[in-house]
Structure 1
Amino acid sequence: MAHLLLRGQLLADANGHPHRIDAVLFDKDGTLSISEPMLHALASARVFHARTLLQQRHPELPASRGDELADLLQRAYGLTEQAIHPAGATAVGSRSHNLISTATALAQVGLGWPEALELSEAIFAATDGLHGQGSQQRPIATEGLHDLVEALEAAAVACAVISNDDRAGITAFLASQELSGRFQACWSADHSPRKPDPAAVLALCAALGVPVERCALIGDANSDLRMAQQAGVPVVLGYRAGWSTTPPLDPCFPCLSHWQELEVRTAAA
């Protein structure tokens, strides 16, 4: 059990009573991990293969449709030449969300929905090796994360991951950063319901055996923060340092830009 301090100020309720925290729920991409280089390579490859496969399988379409498709996908994915937008589908959405975004773009350039879905599956099959353990640019932990997790562990505060990555991706990341033993649970895209459904937060809290009112959640997307708020999590924090572009977080949520800004103080029983 612990209290959390943000830049030296105890996080407390409206009456000034410090919140007692027994568990912290972390988003993964852009919060626990710096995933942007991997996700940029993945989204870029999906655009390339989408154009290539569209031309190969549907030569009856005008060549200009390839340029149109690339533009639609880049905007949907949040992909620019050098970066991934932290609120785009690649950063926030699950694999299935991105697959539907891809199929929608293909439908907009002239494919029927069955053909669009089939081609999307082919595009993802060609690029899935660039994600997770297969990536040559594997995610690394955000700066200072290990120190924070150690402080939480010392205060007997459980740690968990809530992410739209699949269970294998979460497990591989934690193992690669030597964090596996310090996270007690995860809620992934393989679970139901998925985030941003507030029921996902409640289910993860139940798996931890911790009441939601004794939890904190930290994430880099408004969908994460609003989900936690709707689930009744009392301490909801935005994290801004996981992307090259600062996430556009709602100012109603307190935010931090480095894990050193968050202090863990053991609370009396």
Structure 2
Amino acid sequence: MYLVIFDCDGTLVDSQETILHGLEEGFAAVGLPMPDRRTGLSIVGLSLNEAFSKLVGPENHHLVGAMSDAYRASKISRRAAGLDHDPLYPGTREALDRLAAMDEVLVGVATGKARRGVDHMVEVHDLHGRFVTVQTADTSPSKPHPDMILRALSETGADKSRTVMIGDTSYDMEMARSAGVFAIGVTWGYHDAGQLAAAGAHAVIPHFDELDGALAALPGFGNLFDTNLDRETV
């Protein structure tokens, strides 16, 4: 059995505008100036408290709780109003459908989002039934700690040698390496190819169309695609 784990923000969904809005609410709540766009988005992938801690520095650590609360309240309010429908990146649905259709593949999520954020994404984009394991900031330390992947392995019974983490940040790559699984970086999110490679990515791709090839090139994964190819041509 193979386990393919995806990050959410910057990998499956383009959430930069809604994340920036939430950050603005957090900074406004404590009277601090919002950082520039690039700096703000540099923390995507981290859990909320960790993200604000990195942005405000140790001298303002006492404000992090209030900032996170304001961010969460904004998200809940906007979703209730029918807002924050982050679009899927091109090719996302097709990639998930291909993998979900493979009997030998389990698909999961490991994200700095709260579980309600993942549930919202699944509901909005009708991704029901795609993910057999969902790991979030509610139950795990922030990336790059390997806990999310280790929990996913425990839940599914998958072997590390047949598990891969797909994400757009160095935090995803570092988490995968720490957990002892493969890592594939994607460049349409928040960190560039150089950062992903430096963080330990086994492969870096610019579009979901190249995912199957990157997976097939991983040691032990080629048999998966050979097997499914044989089934399709019988």
Q: Secondary structure of 1:24's partner?
A: strand
Q: Which residue of 2 aligns with 1:131?
A: 75
Contact 2:20 2:40 (C-alpha < 8 Å) held by counterparts: no
Q: Secondary structure of 1:33's partner?
A: coil
2:74 aligned partner, one-letter code: L
1:189 aligned partner, one-letter code: A
Q: Which residue of 1 aligns with 2:178?
A: 230
RMSD over aligned Cα atoms: 2.7
Mapped pair 1:176 → 2:124: yes
1:197 aligned partner, one-letter code: H
Mapped pair 1:198 → 2:146: yes
Question: TM-score w.r.t. structure 2 length?
Answer: 0.77
Question: TM-score w.r.t. structure 1 length?
Answer: 0.68
Contact 2:14 2:87 (C-alpha < 8 Å) held by counterparts: yes
C-alpha separation between the residues in 2 aligned to 1:40 and 1:261? 29
C-alpha separation between the residues in 2 aligned to 1:104 and 1:223? 19
C-alpha separation between the residues in 1 aligned to 2:45 and 2:109? 14
Q: Which structure is richer in relative contact order (CA contacts within 8 A, separation 6 or more)?
A: 1
C-alpha separation between the residues in 2 aligned to 1:150 and 1:260? 13
Q: Which residue of 2 aligns with 1:213?
A: 161
Contact 1:218 1:239 (C-alpha < 8 Å) held by counterparts: yes
Contact 1:28 1:161 (C-alpha < 8 Å) held by counterparts: yes
> Structure 1: 5+ residue runs without aligned partners?
2-21, 52-68
1:23 aligned partner, one-letter code: L
Instruction: Indicate which of 202, 205, 208 corresponds to 1:259.
Output: 208
Residue-by-residue CA offset, 1:65-94 (whole Å, 9 max, x unaligned): xxxx42xx52xxxx42xx5655x23x1221
Q: Secondary structure of 1:180's partner?
A: coil
Q: Percent identity?
A: 24
Contact 1:40 1:84 (C-alpha < 8 Å) held by counterparts: no
Q: Which residue of 1 aligns with 2:220?
A: none
1:258 aligned partner, one-letter code: H
For 1:72-221, what aligned pairs fall within 5 Å after superposition?
74=35, 79-80=36-37, 86=41, 88-89=42-43, 91-101=44-54, 104=57, 107=59, 116-117=62-63, 120-131=64-75, 134-135=78-79, 136-156=83-103, 157-221=105-169
- The change in CA–CA distance for 1:226 and 1:101 in structure 2 (over 3 A counts) is closer
Residue-by-residue CA offset, 1:211-268 (whole Å, 9 max, x unaligned): 11111110111121122123221x311011135x746322552211110112276343
For 1:26-41, what aligned pairs fall within 5 Å after superposition?
26-41=6-21
How much has 1:122 moved relative to structure 2? 3.8
C-alpha separation between the residues in 1 aligned to 2:4 and 2:173? 13
For 1:33-72, what aligned pairs fall within 5 Å after superposition?
33-51=13-31, 69-70=32-33
Q: Secondary structure of 2:134's partner?
A: strand
Contact 2:136 2:148 (C-alpha < 8 Å) held by counterparts: no
C-alpha separation between the residues in 1 aligned to 2:88 and 2:55? 29
Q: Secondary structure of 1:47's partner?
A: helix
How much has 1:132 moved relative to structure 2? 6.0
C-alpha separation between the residues in 2 aligned to 1:218 and 1:132? 27
**Larger Rg belongs to:** 1
- The change in CA–CA distance for 1:181 and 1:255 in structure 2 (over 3 A counts) is same
Q: Secondary structure of 1:182's partner?
A: coil
Contact 1:202 1:212 (C-alpha < 8 Å) held by counterparts: no
- The change in CA–CA distance for 1:33 and 1:84 in structure 2 (over 3 A counts) is farther
How much has 1:123 moved relative to structure 2? 4.0
